[in-house]
Amino acid sequence: MISLADYLQLLPKTELHCHLTSTMRARTLHELAGRYGVPLWTDDVEKLFDFDDLVDFLRGWRVAHEVLRTPDDIARVAWEGVEDAVREGNLRYREYYINPQYFAHHASPLSYVEVIDAVIAGLSRAERDFGVGFRVVVAINRRESAEAAVELVREVIANPRPEVVGIGQDDLTPENTEDPLRFADAYALAGAHGLRRTAHVGETPTASPENVRAAIEVLGCDRIDHGYRVVDDPSVLALAQERRIGFATTPWSTTICSGWTLDEGHRIRTMVDAGLPVSVSTDDALFFRTDLGREYREGLTALGLGIEDAQRIALAGIDMAFCDEDDKQRLRADFRAAFLALDALLAR
Ligand SMILES: [Zn+2]
What is residue 46's predicted lDDT score, i.e. its pLDDT?
A: 80
- Average pLDDT of the chain is 96
3-state secondary structure of 96: strand
CA of 340 to the centre of ligand 1 (A): 32
Give the mean pLDDT of 99-116: 92
CA of 98 to the centre of ligand 1 (A): 11
Fold classified for 4-330:
TIM Barrel (3.20.20)
CA of 16 to the centre of ligand 1 (A): 10
CA of 3 to the centre of ligand 1 (A): 31
Cα 125 versus chain centre, distance = 20
CA of 66 to the centre of ligand 1 (A): 19
First to last CA, the chain: 5
Half-sphere exposure at residue 268, Cβ-oriented, CA atoms within 13 angstroms: 34
What is residue 239's predicted lDDT score, i.e. its pLDDT?
A: 98
Give the single-character DSSP code of 165.
Answer: E
What is residue 30's predicted lDDT score, i.e. its pLDDT?
A: 93
List, for residues 152-169, the tens digit of each pLDDT value: 999 999 999 999 999 999
Judge whether residue 197 has pLDDT over 90.
yes
CA of 192 to the centre of ligand 1 (A): 24
CA of 118 to the centre of ligand 1 (A): 21
CA of 9 to the centre of ligand 1 (A): 22
Rg (CA), the chain: 19
Longest dimension (CA), the chain: 59
What is residue 319's predicted lDDT score, i.e. its pLDDT?
A: 98
CA of 140 to the centre of ligand 1 (A): 11
Residue closest to 335 by CA, chosen among 305, 321, 348: 321
CA of 198 to the centre of ligand 1 (A): 11
CA of 204 to the centre of ligand 1 (A): 11
- Residues above pLDDT 90, as percent of the chain: 90
Higher pLDDT, 258 or 265: 265
List, for residues 291-345, the tens digit of each pLDDT value: 999 999 999 999 999 999 999 999 999 999 999 999 999 999 999 999 999 999 9
CA of 281 to the centre of ligand 1 (A): 9
Cα–Cα distance, 332 to 340 (Å, whole number): 12
CA of 309 to the centre of ligand 1 (A): 23
CA of 53 to the centre of ligand 1 (A): 14
CA of 139 to the centre of ligand 1 (A): 10
CA of 64 to the centre of ligand 1 (A): 15
CA of 123 to the centre of ligand 1 (A): 19
List, for residues 112-145, the tens digit of each pLDDT value: 999 999 999 999 999 999 999 999 999 999 999 9
